[in-house]
Amino acid sequence: MSTEYNGYVTAERVEGAEDGPLAGRTVAVKDNISTEGVRTTCGSAMLADYVPPYDATVVERLKAAGATIPGKTNMDEFGMGTTTETSAFGAVENPVAPGHVPGGSSGGSAAVVAAGDADLALGSDTGGSIRCPAAFCGVVGIKPTYGLVSRYGLVAYANSLEQIGPIAPTVEEAAELLEVIAGPDERDATTRDAREEGSDYEYAAAADGDIAGMEVGIPTELLDGADEAVVETFWDAIDDLEARGVTTHEVELPSVEHAVEAYYVIAMSEASSNLARFDGVRYGVSGGFDGNWNETFARAREEGFGDEVKRRVLLGTYALSAGYHDKYYQKAQDARAWIQADFDEALAEADVLASPTMPVPPMELGESLDDPLTMYLADANTTPVNLANLPAISVPAGETPEGLPVGLQFVGPAFGEHAVIRAGSALA
Ligand code: GLN
């Protein structure tokens, strides 16, 4: 099934078990999640012909739950982007806002759900890549607490930040999919059992819309500088929640002004290390050996990687190099600790925090590709959450006067998925 908006890289159907909680439903899978026997490209020419010999843990769980996988979805190359325009397989167009980007990097996953070409989808979120496309395509996306969902079989971009999570038309359906994929995995030592963290896995039951009495903190820093129509839509949604018994108060997160800088230093540093395996020998297109291994590797990487990936590998290598490590990487780690402390403090007095998911509505196709810095700044509201390892949801909040979707983000405490699901279910 190809789509005119370019949502799938590979539309190969894989049937799951006969029955189970997802029987009869299709779940599209982002193309950086390994699927046995079905090529997994990460949106990169480097992996155009790569067919994994095993399933990611989340894919095993989908199949066991009876889901049908209709295909692998298009994405920014290795997850590096906010618009799904850096894919080697072409940009994805936003099916609900033609001429605009679907957000990224899981743009294909959000687009196929928004267009009805899959019931549900999996994305991955390193710095917003589930929540951003969910917001831009008018659907729901959940970024789980770090350690709730196994990353075994997810091709790593920045492993200390990323989680696999669900994208769905409604909060309840997203919660159902989260129930299937969540839980510890002995093949990923960073996973934890939510029950040992004072929680449980009954996520769908939390999607009851019952928000009366909830306390919502609103970090003023995440509204500063946001697009006017986005801010207006956000406040309208908050008014609606207040009318239904929610109380709100403003909170301060002074550290978040450093989040984008800290995020990009950490993400690029980890990427430079994680992507070292794509040298044409261990993984990736061959550089053709001619007697000099350095040149062989360089040729493979020159040919296989796109511009954004090269930019990040170079900057990450620089940030980690001797002499600069303390100046960049260590500083970014300090900022990360400060951001975590700020969230802890704010969440001590609120059930969830609310902000616009993205400070801007979906950009026009081609508008932001030549301006990486502006693109990075669009991640201002999503990256702090990954740095703090917390769960968050993006739900549709309304539209701009031009009819472009606006998403609202709720952030909860670690393993507090229920709180963000409950809050989100009041809106979608
Ligand atoms: N836009 C961010 C980046 O390019 C987030 C990407 C993601 O979450 N994978 O790094």
Q: What is the pLDDT of residue 93?
A: 98
pLDDT at 1: 57
Tell me: do 268 and 390 sit in the same domain: no
**Per-residue pLDDT tens for 370-397?**
888 888 999 999 999 999 999 999 999 9
Regarding whether 329 and 198 lie in a shared domain, the answer is: no
Q: Write down the pLDDT at residue 331.
A: 96
Q: How high is the mean pLDDT of the chain?
A: 97
Co-location of 69 and 140 in the same domain: yes
Positive or negative, the CA dihedral 114, 116, 120, 123 is: negative
User: Among candidates 202, 207, 176, which has minimal Cα distance to 24?
Assistant: 176
Range of the domain at 276: 256-336
The upper half-sphere exposure of residue 168, i.e. CA atoms within 13 Å in the direction of its Cβ, equals 24
Q: What is the pLDDT of residue 369?
A: 83
pLDDT tens digit sequence for 171-225: 999 999 999 999 999 999 999 999 999 999 999 999 999 999 999 999 999 999 8
String of DSSP letters for 341-370: HHHHHHHTS-SEEEEESSSSPPPBTTSSTT
Average pLDDT (52-77) is: 98
> Cβ distance 377 to 384 under 8 Å?
no
Task: Provide the CATH number for the domain around residue 145.
Answer: 3.90.1300.10
29 with 148, same domain?
A: yes
Is residue 82 in contact with ligand 1, taking CB distance under 6 Å? yes
Query: Residue 188 falls within a domain, yes or no?
Result: yes
* 228 shares a domain with 329: no
Asked whether residue 42 falls in the same domain as residue 130, the answer is yes
Number of helices (H) and strands (E), helices first, in the chain? 12, 11
Q: In what order do the strands lie in the sheet with 140-143?
A: 8-10, 72-73, 27-30, 120-125, 163-168, 140-143, 392-399, 405-411, 352-356, 215-219, 247-251
Question: Would you place residue 325 in the very low, low, confident or very high pLDDT band (cuts 50, 70, 90)?
Answer: confident
Is residue 112 assigned to a domain?
yes
Give residue-wise pLDDT tens across range 87-125.
Answer: 999 999 999 999 999 999 999 999 999 999 999 999 999
The residues that bridge with 73 in the sheet, in sequence order, are 8, 30
Measured from the CB, is residue 79 less than 6 Å from ligand 1?
Answer: yes
pLDDT at 115 (0 to 100): 98
Q: Looking at 309, 336, 363, which one is the last position of a domain? A: 336
pLDDT above 70 as % of the chain: 100
pLDDT digits (tens, 9 = 90+) for 227-260: 999 999 999 999 999 999 999 999 999 999 999 9
Ligand 1 center to 371 CA (angstroms): 15
Residue 101's identity, in one-letter code, is: V
81 lines ligand 1 (CB under 6 A): yes
Confirm whether 209 is domain-assigned: yes
Taking residues 300-307, what's their average pLDDT?
Answer: 97
The number of distinct structural domains making up the chain is 2
* Residue 200 and residue 100 share a domain: yes
Asked if residue 346 and residue 310 are part of one domain, the reply reads no
Q: Output DSSP code: residue 329.
A: I
Residue 3 maps to a domain: no
C-alpha 136 to ligand 1 mean position (Å): 15
Query: Cα–Cα distance between 267 and 127 in angstroms, integer?
Result: 9
Instruction: Find out whether the beta carbon of 396 lies less than 6 Å from any atom of ligand 1.
Output: no
pLDDT at 295 over 90: yes
* 83 Cβ inside 6 Å of ligand 1: no
Tell me whether residue 425 is one of the annotated catalytic residues.
no
Of 267, 302, 336, the one marking the end of a domain is 336
Substitution candidate for ligand 1 out of 75, 76, 122, 275 with most atoms within 8 A of CB: 76
**pLDDT recorded at residue 3:** 84
Residues 129 and 228 in one domain: yes
Does residue 28 belong to any structural domain of this protein? yes
* Active site (annotated) includes residue 105: yes
Write down which residue in 336, 352, 384 finishes a domain: 336
Higher pLDDT, 170 or 369: 170
What would the mean pLDDT of 321-329 be, rounded to a whole number? 89
Residue 278 pairs in a beta bridge with 283
For the question of residue 269 being annotated catalytic, the response is no
Q: Are residues 310 and 394 in the same domain?
A: no
Q: In testing the pocket of ligand 1, which one of 129, 164, 315, 363 has its CB within 8 Å of the most ligand atoms?
A: 129
Q: Does any domain span residue 37? A: yes
Q: Which helix (H) or strand (E) holds 216?
A: strand 215-219
Ligand 1 center to 198 CA (angstroms) = 30
Question: What is the torsional sign of CA 322, 328, 333, 338?
Answer: positive
Distance between Cα 99 and ligand 1 center (Å): 22
Q: Same domain for 166 and 99? A: yes
What percent of the chain has a predicted confidence (pLDDT) above 90? 95
Asked whether the bond before 105 is cis by omega within 30 degrees of 0, the reply is yes
* Rounded distance between C-alpha atoms, residue 271 and residue 156, angstroms: 8
What pLDDT does 370 receive? Answer: 83
Q: How far apart are CA 321 and CA 315, in angstroms?
A: 10
Summarize pLDDT for 12-29 with one digit per residue, the tens. 999 999 999 999 999 999
Q: Does the CB atom of residue 106 touch ligand 1 within 6 A? A: no
Tell whether ligand 1 has an atom less than 6 A from the beta carbon of residue 306.
no
Per the residue annotation, which of 44, 129, 199, 368 is the catalytic one?
129
The CA angle 258-190-312, to the nearest 5 degrees, is 45
Q: Are residues 97 and 73 in the same domain?
A: yes
